[in-house]
Copies of this chain bind each other. A is one copy, B any other.
């Protein structure tokens, strides 16, 4: 088995927006699913490492698209690990049509945690470093890598606050990584999307949010087409801490 896993999808009409384009959060969800399939087939998936009390944690996630699949379009997602070190792995994706047209790319950084201590775990200690045999180190993607999402923290404006709900929580027991993307895309009015395509999204994950928390969205508009958000979670006891930052880049 080679390092690259490729999975076929359909842009299901009810995962597309009213402009008939797959939404960024639906695509992000399928990219994470593809990562899960690819790693499971190579014995380092979520369920494999859960057996040794470990979990994958997404640290940075970037998606950059030339174009989005339209409803009913068949497309595939390829994904592979481009590097694996003690505490981090890098994973890339490409999204393409059956004819080979590239819709876009993704790149990401993942850590592994011990499920008891919630502390970083040594990735290479799992399965005798088996992940190393699937590293495709030269298979780079032509997009800029992740950043920490710099923003004006003081100037950022609190623009929304919502409770964490049942649908936000995934099988890991915390707010699903992609759900933050969905919530951020929901901060823009429909009319905005008529004129502006969200072509790049960059997420820096900081800490988990849980059921019972409330999510606060702070916006820093950096230019007409670049918006950064700090999302913090407020615990039932009122303690607020940063959950993640998201940078949205649009083009007309």
Chain A interface residues (CB < 8 Å from chain B): 12-18, 20, 23, 25, 29-30, 32-33, 36, 40, 46-47, 71-72, 162, 165-167, 169-173, 176, 178, 182, 185-186, 188-190, 193, 211
Q: How far apart sit A126 and B170, CA to CA, in the bound complex (Å)? A: 43
Residues of B within 8 Å of A166, CB to CB, are 17, 23, 185-186, 188-190, 193
Kindly state the separation between the CA atoms of A19 and B211 in the bound complex, as whole angstroms: 13
Interface centre among A16, A166, A182 (most CB of B within 10 A): A166
Shortest distance between the CB of A16 and any CB in chain B (Å): 5
A166 to B15, CA, bound (A): 12
Residues of B within 8 A of A33 (CB): 12-14
- Residue of B whose beta carbon sits closest to that of A173: B18
Q: Which residue of B lies closest to A191 (CB)?
A: B211
Chain B residues in 8 Å Cβ range of A30: 12
- In the assembled complex, which residues on chain B have CB atoms less than 8 Å from the CB atom of A193? 166
What chain B residues lie within 8 Å of A188 (beta carbons)?
Answer: 166
Of chain B, the residue at the smallest CB distance from A29 is B14
Bound-state CA distance A13–B173 (Å) is: 12
In angstroms, Cα B20 to Cα A12, docked, is: 23
Q: How far is the CA of A170 from the CA of B15 in the complex (A)?
A: 7
Interface pair B170/A189, CB less than 8 Å apart: no
Q: Please, how many angstroms separate the alpha-carbon atoms of A247 and B197 in the complex?
A: 38
Report whether A14 and B167 are in contact in the complex, using a CB–CB cutoff of 8 Å.
no
B18/A172 in contact, CB under 8 A:
yes
Q: In the complex, A25 Cα to B20 Cα: how many Å?
A: 20
**CB-CB < 8 A to A16: which residues of B?**
170-171
Interface centre among A165, A173, A186, A188 (most CB of B within 10 A): A165
A162 and B47 alpha carbons, distance in the complex (Å)? 36
Contact between A185 and B167, CB atoms less than 8 A apart = yes
Q: CB-CB < 8 A to A182: which residues of B?
A: 167
Instruction: Verify A178–B14 contact, CB threshold 8 A.
Output: yes
Min C-beta distance of A100 to chain B, whole Å: 24
Residues of B with C-beta under 8 A to A71: 171
Output the nearest chain B residue to A182 by Cβ-Cβ distance. B167
By a CB distance below 8 angstroms, the chain B residues around A171 are 13-14, 16-18, 20, 71
Residue of B13, B29, B46, B178 near A170 (CB, 8 A) is: B13
Please, could you name 29 A-B residue pairs with CB atoms under 8 Å apart, sorted by A? A12-B29, A12-B30, A12-B36, A13-B33, A13-B36, A13-B171, A14-B29, A14-B33, A14-B170, A14-B171, A14-B176, A16-B170, A16-B171, A17-B167, A17-B169, A17-B170, A18-B169, A18-B171, A18-B173, A23-B167, A71-B171, A162-B162, A165-B186, A166-B185, A166-B189, A167-B185, A169-B190, A189-B211, A190-B211
